[in-house]
Amino acid sequence: MARVARRRTMQAGEARPSLVERAYAAFKAAIVRAEFPPGIQLSAQELALRFGTSRTPIHEASLRLQEEGLVRILPKKGILVCALSPEDIREIYEVIIAIEGDAAARIARLPEPERLAIAEMLDAETARMEAAADFEARSLADMAFHTLLVEASGNSRFASIMKTVNSQAARAQVFMVQLRPNIERSVPEHRAIIAAICAGDPDIALVAARAHRGRVRDEIVPLLARFGLRHF
Amino acid sequence: MARVARRRTMQAGEARPSLVERAYAAFKAAIVRAEFPPGIQLSAQELALRFGTSRTPIHEASLRLQEEGLVRILPKKGILVCALSPEDIREIYEVIIAIEGDAAARIARLPEPERLAIAEMLDAETARMEAAADFEARSLADMAFHTLLVEASGNSRFASIMKTVNSQAARAQVFMVQLRPNIERSVPEHRAIIAAICAGDPDIALVAARAHRGRVRDEIVPLLARFGLRHF
DNA sequence: CCATATCATCTTCCATGGAAGCTGCAATGG
DNA sequence: CCATTGCAGCTTCCATGGAAGATGATATGG
């Protein structure tokens, strides 16, 4: 029973995160918040010191972040925090366009009850976005809409890909908030996607979702480029 | 000078692959060839013995393969070689549809000289496929066509995603060769994609590429399912 | 003064051992 | 006979030290 009690001390059902997990999350957060500016070169030793572990968990966390494209491990030299160019942002948006477009089409192909239920949830987020008082809240509802779109497609690989590109884009998002693009144009576009889903028309849904993200991309990329942001 | 001589012994200009790299490649190859049947549970110790390294490189290679979805690391238990269900194959094909469709559209949007050059190369592969004597050669030309389509899109993230899903699908491909689907139907579909690229019509290119892969998926998945292949 | 060689110092890469967790079996108590 | 407990043997996880490579400063020869 002592065993059971001990197990219970650490939040039942919640697996205790390993040191690698914690180092990964902390390192990634630091990168996204630009506490480590892009282009900086770090050593495993100093990161180990900063995060309170030994070098091994840091190394393994760095490997994961390298897979995601946030850092590059230079053999025998150190860990380089990657810089994203506007071209990178363009590529990332292209991935988003491809995946979300297909996700919307997939949802539109679902049996009517299911797709209507999803449409309702999407509509709720859109309404929340429309009603939001400030940019922050609007942005949050917008993100919820897009996350839901991908999750509801039922393809776990879509979600996984989006998670990767989102973490890459996260740093750029920080800048975006300051630039405050006219997010209200998104509302009718979201509604167009929802309408296509309700109608059960995958082709229209595909085109609508692609057009929406394409429009956002064409607004964002020049904006970032114009501000002379060579990297993030 | 002895030092220099020693450096030269290992093929100048070729970066020596690290032990992690070699373990990764060897482990992955073994999985794809089904030398490790799906569902088997392995320990780092025995893999280290098999591949002639210590446990550390094996562990790091396993982490990479886990990112790619080929294995799962069970904490304190071992390394599980993942089994792919027909549903997984469906998901993978959906990713391929989304990415290749967008890639085709992107190519169709390129300036005329560039897209004609790409179209010519794609046409060459298709002709090679049509002329091929046996299934093996035809299959090779088909793969070359699709690889080229993605590479030529100029989005490095597309290529990276395709690399991941291809390695996941590689094991299923082995079975596919035995099932010998009617690959000749692909030729006119490839030509339709090429025509859309030549015409510079991204919408048609998108639809044509999606239709092609969708048709293949709808042929393959039931075929795999009918043969009672619960996993690969 | 410049070019080249050497070395001190940094880095990662990899091997290895101890710690902690999981699992199944055997022993024990009802 | 069944349930529970404890343990033995497995596993990964993480820390650490030595080896090998990269780099920049310094010394040395022209």
* Strand C neighbours among A 71-90, CB < 7 A: 73, 75-79
* Strand D neighbours among A 15-44, CB < 7 A: 18-20
The predicted pLDDT at position A232 comes to 57
User: What is the token pair recorded at A216?
Assistant: 């956002």
The predicted pLDDT at position A135 comes to 83
Residue A18 touches partner B, C-beta closer than 8 Å: yes
Residue ranges with strand state E in chain B: 41-42, 71-74, 78-81
A56 pLDDT more than 80 = yes
Q: Which has more pLDDT, B27 or A175?
A: B27
Residue B91 touches partner A, C-beta closer than 8 Å: yes
All domains of chain B, ordered by start, with CATH? 10-81 (1.10.10.10), 86-226 (1.20.120.530)
Selected residue of B62, B90, B102 to mutate for chain A interface (largest A Cβ count, 10 A):
B102
The predicted pLDDT at position B70 comes to 94
Give residue A11's pLDDT band: very low, low, confident or very high (50, 70, 90): very low
Residue B170 touches partner A, C-beta closer than 8 Å: no
A16 pLDDT more than 90 = no
**Measured distance CA(B118)–CA(B108) in Å, rounded:** 10
Nearest DNA or RNA nucleotide to A78 (CA to C1'): C11
Nucleic strand C under 7 Å from the C-beta of B20: yes
Give residue A180's pLDDT band: very low, low, confident or very high (50, 70, 90): low
Closest-CA distance, B132 to chain A, in angstroms, reads: 32
Lowest mean pLDDT among A93-97, A130-134, A185-189: A130-134
Nearest DNA or RNA nucleotide to B55 (CA to C1'): C15
**Measured distance CA(A64)–CA(B66) in Å, rounded:** 10
> Rounded mean pLDDT of chain A?
88
Give residue A120's pLDDT band: very low, low, confident or very high (50, 70, 90): very high
Q: Which residues contact A185 (CB under 8 A, 6 or more apart)?
A: A215
Closest-CA distance, B133 to chain A, in angstroms, reads: 35
Q: What mean pLDDT is predicted for residues A155-161?
A: 96
Residue A152 touches partner B, C-beta closer than 8 Å: no
Q: How far is CA B37 from CA B28, B61, B69, B133, in A?
A: 12, 18, 15, 32
Q: Report yes or no: B201 and B103 within 8 Å, Cβ to Cβ.
A: no
Q: Report yes or no: B55 and B44 within 8 Å, Cβ to Cβ.
A: yes
A1 pLDDT more than 70 = no
| Bases in strand D with any atom closer than 7 Å to a protein CB | 5, 10-17, 20-23
* Strand D neighbours among A 71-90, CB < 7 A: 75-77
Selected residue of A64, A67, A153 to mutate for chain B interface (largest B Cβ count, 10 A):
A67
- Strand-by-strand arrangement of the B41-42 sheet: B41-42, B78-81, B71-74
Q: For chain A, give the number of residues.
A: 232
**Measured distance CA(A29)–CA(A31) in Å, rounded:** 5
Amino acid making up residue A117 = A
Q: Which residues contact A98 (CB under 8 A, 6 or more apart)?
A: B98, B99, B101, B102, B158
**Measured distance CA(A186)–CA(A100) in Å, rounded:** 15
Q: Are A102 and B106 in contact (CB < 8 Å)?
A: no
Q: Report yes or no: B81 and B37 within 8 Å, Cβ to Cβ.
A: yes
Q: Report yes or no: A224 and A97 within 8 Å, Cβ to Cβ.
A: no
CA angle A12, A13, A15 (to 5 degrees): 105
Helix axis angle, A86-108 relative to A156-179, nearest 10°?
130
A57 pLDDT more than 90 = yes
The predicted pLDDT at position A229 comes to 58
Residue A151 touches partner B, C-beta closer than 8 Å: no
Q: Which of B140, B66, B108 is nearest to A160 (CA)?
A: B66
Q: Are B98 and A94 in contact (CB < 8 Å)?
A: no
Per-residue pLDDT of chain B (232 residues; tens, 9 = 90+): 333 333 333 333 345 788 999 999 999 999 988 899 999 999 999 999 999 999 999 999 999 999 999 999 999 999 999 988 888 999 999 999 999 999 999 999 999 999 999 999 999 999 999 998 888 888 899 999 999 999 999 999 999 999 999 988 888 877 777 776 677 789 999 999 999 999 999 999 999 999 999 998 998 888 888 765 556 5
A82 pLDDT more than 80 = yes
Q: Which of B63, B161, B203 is opposite residue A161, by nearest beta carbon? A: B161
The predicted pLDDT at position B11 comes to 38
Q: Are B60 and A63 in contact (CB < 8 Å)?
A: yes
CA-to-C1' span, A206 to C7 (A): 63
A177 pLDDT more than 90 = no
The predicted pLDDT at position B4 comes to 33
Question: Which positions in chain B touch A106 (Cβ < 8 Å)?
Answer: 94
The predicted pLDDT at position A3 comes to 33
Task: Name the region of B228 (left: φ>0; alpha: ψ -120 to 50; beta: rest).
Answer: left
A217 pLDDT more than 80 = yes
